[in-house]
Chain A
């Protein structure tokens, strides 16, 4: 084969080749659910065929049975309600405090640099490491767990709220001023709604953080709660119940994500 002369002109004719395929994945309805169901079926089949040691990884059917028994005996509700309560109190407290400081950091000169300095210094501390300290400070009861959650939720909320406030276009605030809106009205009608997308995105992150910290705090010192239940089941090699607890946790995560998704759809329908 002779090498083509690089200086020879290239003849073109016919249709221009299409060069812009890919990079646009489409959503196939139900494909996600079908995949999950398929994996669970495979798991069950593997266990029934003896390919998976059921002590190490119980099959889906055994987990479902354990869940059912827990629900019927009232055991599930005892642990679940304790966890839910901590989640609600800890997350709400951290969120309210985080929103307040985040707004202050975003809106005031006095609090901006000091607030961000404190947040930057404390945010990277792994909050789980603080649980023993909080138990010393606040006792082994609910207080230390609520504080751990609130603490973990607080910092990302501050950061997301302040970032959301910063992202509100200055021109909108000037518009409010030029139409004679008061400072409070500008915050309520322009700054807060403008920061809402960022605040709601922060909720997704803080909800996940809260669930992680919840389990960690319950494992360190609690006799109620899904975290302590999972730990106790592990100590007894009761993998059926252990996995049932994990399923409950992942369902909690799914439920939170569903609720936040609905909230975003409702509150951000203008987008």
Chain B
């Protein structure tokens, strides 16, 4: 992988509403090529919606999403998504699930098999190629989700709370693996999370959204390479507390508003 695609995204003036519910309001941000941009913000502020819009899965009411860069010839799909609930087909084996992302491409069957073997190796799943999803633990299932995304050699990875369905230990393990995989592939990544430790571990750019309707409240940059970040790093801890202060204000205000709505 490595010397692959380099594509950046620019979102300009994105607004979106679901019927009467204004979810996003005039959100603008850029996702630099090869960087991880983390979206954080209180529950319901429109993070998943913004991710769908960025990936071309949802048309915004207003605003533009543009990309700029070069696609490597081996890229089969500019976007790949990793889902919170893994979204594996229970009737396909691990290898079959990864293959799903490749079947409609021009790749020949033997070449597909090579790619599948490659990403299985990369994600530590080599011994589980023929297993059914139900036979795997949550962490292993999400490794399949990652492997499936990597198999298309995407230019941009969209990850919506990929670790939040997992227990704390598995989360910590996978977080380090993500960091290594992303750093190695150099894939532009948009990553949604509620977890600030994940945000500072992975993010080159952390975008804090306000409560609904989501607007960009702050952007935090961390230029330390992913490989050099340790959980004890005091600069990172300081950023984490700063983010927490912002999120806490927004979240508690959102809670109170929700309370009024119900009264």
A interface residues with partner B (beta carbon < 8 Å): 169, 171-172, 174-182, 185, 189-190, 193-194, 196, 268, 270-271
For B87, give its contact among A171, A182, A268 (CB under 8 Å).
Answer: A171
Q: What are 15 A-B contacts defined by CB distance under 8 Å?
A: A172-B89, A174-B57, A175-B87, A178-B57, A178-B81, A178-B158, A179-B80, A181-B100, A189-B100, A194-B89, A196-B91, A270-B91, A270-B92, A270-B134, A271-B90
Residues of B close to A189: CB separation below 8 A:
89, 100, 103
Closest residue of chain B to A185, judged by CB? B104
Q: Would you call B150 an interface residue if the criterion is a C-beta within 8 Å of the partner chain's C-beta atoms? A: no
Closest residue of chain B to A184, judged by CB? B104
Q: Mark B81-118, 1 if CB is under 8 A from A, else 0.
A: 10101010111100000001101100000000000000
- B91–A178 contact, CB under 8 A? no
- B81–A179 contact, CB under 8 A? yes
Residues of A close to B90: CB separation below 8 A:
270-271
Q: Would you call B79 an interface residue if the criterion is a C-beta within 8 Å of the partner chain's C-beta atoms? A: yes
Q: Mark B66-85, 1 if CB is under 8 A from A, else 0.
A: 00000000000101110101
Counting chain B residues whose Cβ lies within 8 A of the other chain, the interface size class is: 20 to 34
Q: A178-B55, A270-B90 are in contact. Are A171 and B85 (CB under 8 A)?
A: yes
- B87–A181 contact, CB under 8 A? no
Residues of B close to A182: CB separation below 8 A:
104
Which of A176, A180, A181, A193 has the most C-beta atoms of chain B within 10 angstroms of its own C-beta? A180
Residues of B close to A171: CB separation below 8 A:
83, 85, 87
Closest residue of chain B to A170, judged by CB? B87
- A180–B104 contact, CB under 8 A? yes
Q: Would you call B38 an interface residue if the criterion is a C-beta within 8 Å of the partner chain's C-beta atoms? A: no
Residues of A close to B57: CB separation below 8 A:
174, 177-178
Which 4 pairs of residues, A with B, have the shortest CB-CB distance? A175-B87, A178-B81, A270-B91, A179-B101
- B100–A179 contact, CB under 8 A? yes
Residues of B close to A185: CB separation below 8 A:
103-104
Q: A185-B104, A189-B100 are in contact. Are A180 and B89 (CB under 8 A)?
A: no
Q: Whole-angstrom distance from the CB of A231 to the nearest CB of chain B?
A: 45
Closest residue of chain B to A180, judged by CB? B77
Q: Taking A179-B100, A190-B89, A268-B91 as given, write out 16 further A-B residue pairs in contact, using a Cβ cutoff of 8 Å, ordered by the A residue number.
A: A169-B87, A171-B83, A171-B87, A172-B87, A174-B57, A175-B83, A176-B100, A178-B57, A178-B79, A178-B158, A179-B77, A185-B104, A189-B100, A193-B91, A196-B91, A270-B90
- B134–A179 contact, CB under 8 A? no
- B81–A270 contact, CB under 8 A? no
For B134, give its contact among A178, A194, A271 (CB under 8 Å).
Answer: A271
- A179–B152 contact, CB under 8 A? yes
**Cα–Cα distance between A179 and B100 once the two chains are bound (Å):** 8
For B132, give its contact among A172, A194, A196, A270 (CB under 8 Å).
Answer: A270
**Cα–Cα distance between A174 and B134 once the two chains are bound (Å):** 20
- A193–B77 contact, CB under 8 A? no
- B89–A193 contact, CB under 8 A? yes
Q: Whole-angstrom distance from the CB of A194 to the nearest CB of chain B?
A: 8
Residues of B close to A179: CB separation below 8 A:
77, 80-81, 100-101, 148, 152
Residues of A close to B104: CB separation below 8 A:
180-182, 185
Q: Whole-angstrom distance from the CB of B218 to the nearest CB of chain A?
A: 29
**Cα–Cα distance between A193 and B100 once the two chains are bound (Å):** 13
Residues of A close to B77: CB separation below 8 A:
179-180
**Cα–Cα distance between A178 and B78 once the two chains are bound (Å):** 10
**Cα–Cα distance between A174 and B48 once the two chains are bound (Å):** 13
Residues of A close to B91: CB separation below 8 A:
193-194, 196, 268, 270
Q: Whole-angstrom distance from the CB of B140 to the nearest CB of chain A?
A: 16
Q: Whole-angstrom distance from the CB of B95 to the nearest CB of chain A?
A: 13
Residues of A close to B134: CB separation below 8 A:
270-271
**Cα–Cα distance between A172 and B86 once the two chains are bound (Å):** 9
Q: Whole-angstrom distance from the CB of B254 to the nearest CB of chain A?
A: 25
- B89–A174 contact, CB under 8 A? no
Q: Whole-angstrom distance from the CB of A56 to the nearest CB of chain B?
A: 52
**Cα–Cα distance between A177 and B101 once the two chains are bound (Å):** 10
Residues of A close to B92: CB separation below 8 A:
270
Q: Whole-angstrom distance from the CB of A264 to the nearest CB of chain B?
A: 13
**Cα–Cα distance between A178 and B55 once the two chains are bound (Å):** 8
**Cα–Cα distance between A180 and B148 once the two chains are bound (Å):** 13
Q: Whole-angstrom distance from the CB of B23 to the nearest CB of chain A?
A: 17
**Cα–Cα distance between A268 and B132 once the two chains are bound (Å):** 12
Residues of A close to B100: CB separation below 8 A:
176, 179, 181, 189
Closest residue of chain B to A268, judged by CB? B91
**Cα–Cα distance between A171 and B90 once the two chains are bound (Å):** 13
- B81–A175 contact, CB under 8 A? yes
Residues of A close to B101: CB separation below 8 A:
179
